[in-house]
Chain A
Amino acid sequence: MTEPIVNDLTIQAATVNGSGSQTANLVLTRAIFHMGVPVAPKNVFPSNIEGLPTWYQLRITPEGHMARSDKVDVLVAFNVATWRQDLTTVRAGGVVIHEEAFSTAEARTDVTYYAVPFSKLAKAKIQSDTLRKQLANMIYVGVVAGVLGIPWEALEHGVRRQFLAKPKAVPINLDAIKVGYDYWQDNFSKEDPYRLEAMTGRVEGKALVEGNQAAALGALMGGASVVAWYPITPSSSLCEYFIAYSDRFRVDPKTGEKLVSVVQAEDELAAVGMAIGAGWAGARAFTSTSGPGISLMAEFSGLAYYAEVPVVIFDIQRIGPSTGLPTRTSQADIGFVYTLSHGDTKHIVLLPGTVEECYEFARDAFDYADRFQTPIFVLSDLDLGMNLWMTPEFKYPEKPFDRGKVLSKDDLEKVAGEWARYRDVDKDGVTYRTLPGTDHPAAGYFTRGSGHDENARYTEGADAYANNMDRLVRKLETARHALPAPVIDEAGSSVGLIAFGSTHAAVVEARETLLSAGQAIDYLRVRALPLSDDVAAFVERHERVYVAEQNRDGQLFDIVRLALPPALVDRVRSIRHYNGQPIPAAAIIEPLMDREAVPA
């Protein structure tokens, strides 16, 4: 037997959608995490409720890499329909745990097979007819645990953690795992090099959280009190978590009343309209959707931009149309969202790159919306939003809400009613607003799109329109300096890399790999649009700068080039990944190796 490979492997479970495999995968994930070993799960699922193939990848690395890997070390083959194809993904020397009934005749000979009679075991050992299909998946958890040496105590923890809300389910699931665990002990001896061993120093103080959970918590802590949404994968879980958290934390203990209103709207037009209506009336409001829903929100986003109404809009990006790959990840909405709507619109877009930032940016988005009286888009994606990520625990906010420039009745009295809704008193482009219900005769005004003067009175006057447009530019300039600055990590390399959002995980790993191959790469992670001046300065400091992103046309690449002085434009190159799978580090390493001539 070759050298043992410890805590550095990728498990891939190929199963059938709707068969309960996700629970088994999560138990396995939590058990390994409990051993102190870093895990990075990626769920690749079809747009289907039951029957189509689904894959769950569990990446395990001592360094805690969180990007998807293209190489499978341990395959759990549970789906006969994809069995032959799945077999080709395993690296030479890898392990294949498969249903005994799947034929290995003429199959690869460079992998270790463990054939397990899963169906027979399920029939013989699982008493409950109704639960047999679900629990059969737990049998493979037991087998994997046997092969890799996951201690029983960790499995117990994994099951208990997974069934926190259903403690009754713990013993039957553990029994099913035991079936697989015992079968492996009784029938096989270890023939492969892969092992898991408890470790310390990597996962302490960390939690496993989905980006959408983090964003839902952020919205709750940001004070969202009116929410309107229309279901769409991969955004639905954000609102569903928000509802669950609200049921727990937003009920008035004295009256039993809800301190929040969540409406499942009739479509995304209505959803964003309700959120804008609520924002106009002074509540912190949001909606959450994905690309097709963003398309429907285009008109209203323009109105909110021109009428200057605060609202937060989450876009959990996926691949484009509803017929296609709606359950696969992508970063291809960034260009569309940035200038969403008619006319001269340009929006503030927050770009969280980690689960912790999903929490923080969701929370702070409401401050930005109120401060700048405009829609704030928060762009996440399916990979970040729906997968579990290891994250440091989130911090409790130390600052109170920033409700922006809102004039109360007393404020209006102080200025003797002398105010104008769209007058730039502070010369920062941000004007003062009043809320409906303010008991002062000067408070009311009629909100409309672009055809208004400083006093919000109707006009189609050329100067009034142009002046207002210029002020909106000033406002965006003010905002640009207040938004989350890029995170820069540089050590004087001549080569730089720019990325945003979930691509971050692959960049981190790619830089480590390239550094050990002798090529240091400096890194700037964009966290908001419009771009900070730091971006041009970063390009200035480097000879060549690569923009890596998950879309076909290099949308951030274009946005970056537009922000550069002409002399710098040629320094920027594009790396694009767009097959619906979360970007692996290899997609960044390989082009850089090629173009920067790093000896592989």
Chain B
Amino acid sequence: MSATVNHVGLPRDAYKGAATTLCAGCGHNSITNHMIKALYELGVEPHLLAKMSGIGCSSKTPAYFVETAHGFNGVHGRMPALTTGAHLANRQLIMLGVSGDGDTASIGLGQFMHLIRRNVDCTYIIEDNGTYGLTKGQFSATADLGSMQKKGAVNTFQPIDPCAVALALGCSFVARSFSGDGKQVVPLIKAAIAHRGTAILDIVSPCVTFNDHDGSTKSYSWVKDHEESIADVSFIPFFEEVHVDYEPGTVRDVRLHDGSHIVLKKLGEDHDPTNRQAAIRVIEEARAEGHLVTGLLYVDTAMADFASTEEIPQRPLKDLGEAELRLSREQFAQFMSEFA
């Protein structure tokens, strides 16, 4: 029996990882499955993938997909720095970062913002449960005002919305989704990977153990009742032809750097994902109405990514040897003579 393989000749099983150690029913596990599907369907070559993470239940998940790829479970909130460094050492790698809401919006907020500011080419997934899962249920900075902890404590602070922050900073790709919505998450992961620049994908991901009760705004039932998708997202990779059978005027097609496409089918009012002000407005309106808006909020395919701005060669810096990195004997002698 020959297994079905993707366009790089690998079966879906090649994208699996170690068995999860997270709680049964954790939203993060669903995201892991979406990740496996997306990476398999995209045909990412495992050896070119670098799975980066910080600390938290969410940051453990890179162990649970593509076991044969390299990964780095770093320190709390500092995945962006490790990602930036590894990317500079080897531009050929596909940098895929996984973080949590505590990891991103509390301890790591500075690095999150500076990664976006530099537009480092990477995918940054926030598995957002509004709580500190791994340290057992303390509030995180993305918890909504008035939302409740399991034991009844009420959050009295304004939330930090990672998407709103990313948009304010001019991030080149901003999307939000829900772990329970594979139909939307999978194409968004693919699009984020295909995008050249920092792609922020905030995925609301219920913590069944500490934050899935009434009073939480990151629970399965709350999100199911309040989710409002701005468009149906499909992703067409560069190796497939675009054929769209929707009514003209009801779709938007965004072409990404590698020739792939995101096709957005309008739902109700049309959102233009290339209009940053509109994206900010959509978020603000949904917030006022107590809704969670999901989908591709914003994309800018023209912005230069960090390594390009810095004029770093495509050839990995890690592969350069003495001949390229050292001064020649003549250069060295000349240089020394200038100190005399």
Contacts and interface: CB of A to CB of B under 8 A. Distances in A.
A277 B89 contact: yes
Q: Which of A217, A394, A443, A446 has the most CB of B within 10 A?
A: A446
Interface in B183-213: none
Interface string B28-50: 00000000000000000111101
A322 to B, nearest CB: 18
Nearest to A442: B68
B322 A223 contact: yes
A436 B93 contact: yes
Contacts of B73: 446-449
B311 A278 contact: no
A438 B316 CA distance: 12
A263 interface: yes
Contact of A226 (B88, B327, B329): B88
Interface string A204-223: 00111100010001001101
A458 interface: yes
A400 B322 contact: yes
A274 B81 contact: yes
A278 B299 CA distance: 28
Contacts, number: 218
Given A257-B312, A281-B85, A401-B321, A446 B71 contact: yes
A259 interface: yes
Interface string B320-331: 111011110101
Contacts of B66: 444
A336 interface: no
Contacts of A272: 81
A282 B71 CA distance: 14
A447 B70 contact: yes
Interface in A335-371: none
A280 interface: yes
A265 B86 contact: no
A303 B75 contact: yes
A274 to B, nearest CB: 4
A255 interface: yes
A397 B326 contact: yes
A228 B157 CA distance: 35
A277 B322 contact: no
A90 interface: no
Contacts of B75: 273, 299-300, 303
Nearest to A271: B81
B265 interface: no
Contacts of A269: 78, 81, 111
A226 B321 contact: no
Contacts of B310: 258, 261
B316 A277 contact: no
A441 B68 contact: yes
B70 A445 contact: yes
Contact of B47 (A259, A307, A438, A446): A438
Given A207-B339, A437-B316, A443-B47, A278 B71 contact: no
Contacts of B18: 457-458
B47 A437 contact: yes
Interface in A124-170: 164
A435 B318 contact: yes
Contact of A444 (B68, B329, B336): B68
Contacts of A206: 340
Interface string A447-467: 111000000011000000000
Contact of A446 (B48, B63, B78, B318): B63
Contact of A274 (B72, B82, B338): B82
B67 interface: yes
B84 interface: yes
A267 interface: yes
Given A208-B339, A447-B71, A266 B110 contact: yes
B113 to A, nearest CB: 8
A93 to B, nearest CB: 35
A54 interface: no
23 contacts: A223-B326, A249-B331, A261-B310, A263-B84, A270-B78, A273-B74, A273-B81, A273-B111, A274-B85, A277-B52, A277-B84, A277-B85, A279-B89, A280-B72, A280-B89, A281-B89, A285-B85, A397-B326, A439-B47, A444-B67, A444-B69, A444-B70, A448-B72
Interface of A: 164, 206-209, 213, 217, 220-221, 223-226, 228, 249-250, 252, 255-261, 263, 265-267, 269-285, 299-300, 303, 307, 393-394, 396-397, 400-401, 434-449, 457-458
Given A225-B317, A249-B327, A266-B114, 6 more contacts: A223-B322, A273-B84, A274-B84, A274-B88, A401-B321, A437-B93
Query: Which 10 A/B pairs are nearest by Cβ-Cβ distance?
Result: A277-B85, A273-B81, A283-B89, A282-B318, A207-B339, A274-B85, A281-B89, A277-B82, A278-B85, A436-B70
